[in-house]
Amino acid sequence: MPLGLCLIIYLLTLYVGAMLFLWQSLRGQKTETPLVTEVPFALKEGQTIVGIGETTHGIDFYIGDYVRDEHYYDL
């Protein structure tokens, strides 16, 4: 058998062995559920976002019940 063919078969055998080892090691691992904090964020009727503040933990939205005056115009 030519030396080039032996090298290709050897490398293919190493590759298949590495893939089988990887699959075996991954199958034994238990996946943990990711830590997700679900925050329900929905504005109720009549509420508006009156301010936004940035903190070290994220962004805070300040919600108020202020009614916008339809007849007020900036002059």
User: What pLDDT does residue 35 have?
Assistant: 76
Question: pTM higher than 0.75 for the full model?
Answer: no
Reduced to 3 states, what is the DSSP secondary structure of residue 75?
Answer: coil
Higher-pLDDT residue of 63, 23: 23
Mean pLDDT, the chain, whole residue set: 79
Contacts of 46 (CB under 8 A, 6+ apart): 65, 67
User: What pLDDT does residue 41 have?
Assistant: 67
Residue 10 has pLDDT above 90, yes or no: yes
Phi, psi (deg, nearest 5) at residue 2: -65, 155
Q: What is the mean pLDDT of residues 15-42?
A: 82
Q: Please tell me the least confidently modeled range out of 4-13, 16-25, 48-57.
A: 48-57
Q: Token pair for residue 58? A: 């994220």
